[in-house]
A = this chain, B = another copy of it.
Amino acid sequence: MGRPFRARIGANESVFGPSPAAIEAMREAVADSWKYCDPENYDLNVALARHYGVEPSNIIVAEGADALLGYLVRMVVREDTPVVTSLGAYPTFTYHVAGYGGRLEFVPYREDREDTEALVERARMTGSPLIYLANPDNPMGSWSDAATIQRMIDSLPERTLLCLDEAYIEFAPEGTAPPIDVTNPRVIRLRTFSKAYGMAGARVGYCIAHTNLAAPFNRIRNHFGVSSISQAGALAALGDQEFIAKVQGWVAEARERIGSIAEANGLKPLPSATNFVAIDCGRDGVFAKAVVDELAARGVFVRMPFAAPQNRCIRVSAGKPEDLDALAAALPDALRAAAGGR
């Protein structure tokens, strides 16, 4: 539209930015960017291993969780390999599966949650070697508790791998993530510096897994994929857990506020364990799309789920108070316009 948005609260970025320590570390790393980056991501790898109480060989760092999804799919998926995911879940995973010729087996959400039992059942039925589950979930913000996920893990068919995407885990209540168990060779945990750590533009993701599962990534990954600046930033960001605690507080406040704004407009905010809130607009995807468009026309960037019935919702990322002021100001008019009342 030729002008910046007044509120950029559509991409589940962290408007609260990276830790000041990370910003400083990245600025300092810039002048040395003539040197090749460390292909082992050594310092970050060791720091992550320490953070999680695992070995460095249990961690693979890469140029964003998206890259790791691509590598994982490359290793597991051949022409016509069945791969199980939820209908309307993270599309970059399905992009990679389609790219490697896999056959997507979509399981519907159940009451706006990914259906852990049905996912396992579908894998069993189709002989799928790979299930993708995001917990907490994007785009709905819903989650299963650790016990439910652990039951899912324990019930995996013998030859099935679970890719457990925990990009939003830092925003979830205690008791959402099952304990990290790198002795289990059938679970790969995926995490990122793009969400709570506020570094989406820096491209750093990592997985935590059994050594036998982690090691093969080294045989195919783009070894120099993570820029030296980003490695330095992620290392500093990880070291500043006080900042993450602050971000968690700000996000919790923002979720509350988004909920209040939704309710004040007669809409229903769904519970969220992420840095965004799905708001049920009470009608269909056509209407929700109109709301998204009308908000954009008023300078407020939000998004929406793409599959029915989740697409009755719009998805609003945690913003700063001024971002949410803009949402509060724009939403009544946007809803009226979307309803055809201009």
Contacts and interface: CB of A to CB of B under 8 A. Distances in A.
A16 interface: yes
A96 to B, nearest CB: 9
Interface in A10-45: 11, 13-18, 23, 26-27, 29-37
A198 interface: yes
Most buried by B among A8, A13, A27, A203: A203
A225 B203 contact: yes
A281 interface: no
Copies of the protein in its oligomer: 2
Contacts of A31: 17, 23
Contacts of A13: 34-36
A114 B32 CA distance: 33
Contacts of A63: 63, 203, 222, 225
Nearest to A32: B201
Given A35-B8, A35-B13, A203 B220 contact: no
Contact of A201 (B18, B23, B36, B203): B36
A67 interface: yes
Interface stretch (A122-130, A228-236, A289-297): A228-236
A40 to B, nearest CB: 14
